């Protein structure tokens, strides 16, 4: 049996968040609204992030939809997290 | 049939040392394991007519290919004999169906376990019992098949506590959670038949499931009143755990089944009744401390079952006692029960052949 294995390189690390676009991928649970609103505020005020985009999965226990992953390719940084 | 095993081999002479070695590697559930010698692993593969490298399926989130050899190793560790192995394989094929949502079910804080239900002649062949203590350690077969599911998750997908398994509590079914249906004494068709498996085929049904919630009603012979107790427990689960509709299991013992039989109630009548009765309004959340999320939806009615067909009714339990149970789904319809015939094969669908 032959398996083709592709080794993916991680994206380059950012030296600064200033002026960057950051995407937040929420699992959509009840606690996420307040949690990610706070993260949004911290990113803008403390790290001078220029744009914060919030996207929410339709099923909090399944991977993000393809549309979200495709959109994330245009972000400088993505944060995925729980709001439990 | 013989095939080349590819897994790493360790030579350890002392039986106690074997246990300590496996525990130290994090390869167990905390209980002693049966050393998976090449002979024992090969015997499982031979029984199932599977080469070691046969691909059972693919888990898309962790991007792991599940092959027969790894399942056989863990089945032996769990205590399986070769005759138990086909049920483990079929359960894994079912778990890898997209609608089961395996990664979510094994990683969720919700802490569900994977319930395996056996139907068909395999039950007698392997000595699976459906009567006394059916939700405990009723017999060797169901104990080791259920344990094999857990060990395979731990060792193939790293579903160990604090790693992929993020369960807040979990429940005892995560050690082993396998039962067989009492088809001979049920008075109705088997669960597998009701889910489109041919009568003569053996089958497994898997469900990402919470812990059993036991009920008792020994004070009536009326089907409606007996089922009202089950429905009340389903409603309690909807209020206290999750309101979302899904595949609920109802385990009904002989004492209750006899009353159903006398009244002429079969699988369909029972499912129809519970479909109508297991409903709550969202406003009921206010009575259990969840008023903050009722919002403007207080009058919306929620049903435990999306349809009567979503009920997984199982005949099982000891001969005496009006004790039954409901087993709730983990995440409503977002993770669905899957039933497969034992001996079925991923990629064997003739429509997929070129």
User: Residue B292: which CATH number?
Assistant: 3.30.2320
Structure confidence at residue B354 (pLDDT): 37
Please state the pTM of the whole predicted model. 0.92
CA B202 to chain centre: 15
pLDDT of residue A20: 97
- Over residues B222-237, the pLDDT tens digits come to 999 999 999 999 999 9
User: Is B350 a domain residue?
Assistant: no
The answer as to whether B2 is a domain residue is: no
Give yes or no: residues B97 and B149 share one domain. Answer: yes
Q: What is the mean pLDDT of chain B?
A: 95
The domain segmentation of chain A, as residue ranges, is: 21-81
Give the bridge partners for B313, in sequence order: B250
A42 vs A56: CA distance, rounded Å: 19
Which residues, numbered 21 to 80 in chain A, qualify as contacts with chain B under a Cβ-Cβ cut-off of 8 Å?
30, 59, 61-63
Residues from chain A contacting residue B110 (CB–CB below 8 Å): 61
**What mean pLDDT value characterizes chain A?**
89
In sequence order, what are the beta bridge partners of B114?
B208
Q: Which of B186, B210, B234 is the last residue of a domain?
A: B210
Number of domains in chain B: 2
Point out the least confidently predicted range of A4-8, A30-34, B24-28, B235-239. Answer: A4-8
Q: B137 and B51, same structural domain? A: yes
Give the span between the Cα atoms of A10 and A4, in whole angstroms.
19
Q: Identify the residue among A2, A31, A61, A82 best suited for mutation to test binding to B, counting B beta carbons within 10 A and taking the highest.
A: A61
Is B335 inside any structural domain?
no
Q: What is the pLDDT of residue A83?
A: 63
Q: Taking chain A, what is the end-to-end CA distance rounded to the nearest angstrom?
A: 42
CA dihedral B194, B199, B204, B205 (to 10 degrees): 0
Q: Is B86 buried (19+), middle (13-18) or exposed (0-12) by CB count in 10 A?
A: buried
Q: Do B107 and A61 touch (CB under 8 A)?
A: yes
Measure CA A71 to chain center.
Answer: 10
**Cβ-based neighbours of B251, under 8 Å, separated by 6 or more:** B134, B135, B179, B212, B314, B316, B317, B324, B325, B326, B327
How far does CA B156 lie from the centroid of its chain? 18
Backbone angles phi, psi at B229, to 5 degrees: -70, -45
Could you give the CA distance from residue B199 to residue B64 in angstroms, rounded to a whole number? 34
Are residue B244 and residue B201 in the same domain, yes or no?
no
Q: What integer pLDDT is reported at residue B26 of this predicted model? A: 96
Structure tokens given for B124? 């007698």
Q: Given B162, B190, B210, which residue is the final one in a domain?
A: B210
The answer on B238 and B113 residing in a single domain is no
Below-70 pLDDT ranges, chain B: 1-3, 344-354
Q: What is the DSSP string of B247-264?
A: --EEEE-HHHHHHHHHHT
> B287 and B180, same structural domain?
no
Q: Do B148 and B118 form a contact (C-beta atoms < 8 A)? A: no
pLDDT of residue A6: 80
For residue A68, how far is the Cα from the chain centroid?
A: 9
Cβ of residue A1 closer than 8 Å to a chain B Cβ: yes
Range of the domain at B241: 211-328
Question: How large is the greatest C-alpha to C-alpha distance in chain A, in angstroms?
Answer: 54
Structure tokens at B219: 């004070």
> Do B72 and B30 belong to one domain?
yes
Confidence tier at A52 by pLDDT (50, 70, 90): very high
> If you average pLDDT over residues A25-35, what whole number do you get?
88
B37 with B109, same domain: the answer is yes
Q: What is the mean pLDDT of residues A27-52?
A: 93
CA distance A66 to chain B (A): 13
Strands B178-180 and B279-281: unpaired
Does B293 fall in a domain? Answer: yes
Query: Are both B179 and B215 inside the same structural domain?
Result: no
Residue B347 lies in a domain: no
Please write the tens of the pLDDT for every residue from B40-70.
Answer: 999 999 999 999 999 999 999 988 999 999 9
The verdict on a CB contact (< 8 Å) between A30 and B107 is: no
Residue B280, C-beta contacts closer than 8 angstroms, at least 6 positions apart: B235, B238, B239, B243, B301, B302
């Amino acid at each position: 049996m032959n398996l083709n294995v592709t080794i993916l390189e991680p994206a380059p690390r950012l030296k600064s968040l200033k002026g960057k676009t950051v995407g937040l991928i929420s699992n959509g649970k009840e606690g996420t609204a307040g949690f990610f609103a706070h993260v949004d505020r911290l990113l803008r005020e403390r790290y001078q992030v220029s744009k914060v985009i919030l996207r929410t999965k339709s099923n909090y226990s399944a991977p993000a939809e393809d549309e979200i992953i495709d959109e994330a390719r245009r972000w400088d940084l993505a944060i995925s997290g729980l709001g439990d | 049939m013989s095939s080349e095993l590819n897994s790493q081999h360790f030579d350890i002479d002392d039986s106690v040392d074997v246990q300590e070695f496996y525990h130290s590697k994090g390869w167990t559930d905390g209980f002693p394991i049966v050393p998976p010698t090449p002979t024992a692993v090969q015997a499982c593969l031979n029984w199932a007519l599977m080469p070691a490298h046969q691909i059972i399926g693919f888990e898309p989130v962790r991007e792991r290919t599940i092959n027969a050899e790894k399942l056989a190793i863990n089945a032996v560790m769990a205590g399986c004999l070769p005759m138990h192995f086909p049920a483990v394989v079929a359960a894994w094929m079912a778990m890898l169906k997209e609608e089961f949502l395996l990664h979510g079910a094994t990683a969720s804080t919700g802490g569900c376990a994977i319930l395996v239900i056996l139907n068909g002649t395999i039950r007698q062949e392997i000595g699976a019992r459906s009567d006394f203590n059916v939700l405990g350690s009723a017999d060797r077969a169901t104990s080791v098949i259920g344990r094999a599911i857990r060990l395979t998750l731990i060792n193939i997908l790293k579903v160990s506590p604090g790693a992929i398994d993020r369960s807040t509590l979990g429940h005892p079914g995560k050690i082993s959670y396998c039962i067989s249906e009492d088809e001979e004494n049920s008075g109705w068709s088997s669960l597998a038949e009701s889910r489109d498996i041919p009568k003569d085929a053996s089958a497994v049904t898997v469900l990402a499931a919470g812990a059993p919630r036991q009920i008792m009603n020994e004070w009536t012979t009326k089907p409606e009143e007996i089922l009202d107790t089950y429905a009340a427990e389903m409603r309690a689960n909807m209020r206290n755990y999750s309101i979302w509709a899904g595949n609920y299991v109802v385990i009904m013992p002989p004492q209750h089944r006899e009353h159903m039989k006398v009244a002429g109630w079969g699988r369909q009548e029972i499912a129809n009744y519970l479909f109508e009765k297991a409903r709550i309004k969202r406003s009921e959340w206010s009575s259990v401390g969840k008023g903050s999320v009722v919002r403007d939806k207080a009058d919306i009615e929620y049903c435990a079952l999306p349809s009567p067909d979503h009920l997984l009714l199982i005949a099982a339990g000891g001969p005496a006692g009006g004790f039954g149970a409901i087993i709730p789904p983990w995440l409503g319809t977002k993770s669905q029960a899957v039933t497969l015939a034992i001996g079925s094969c991923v990629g064997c669908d003739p429509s997929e052949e070129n």
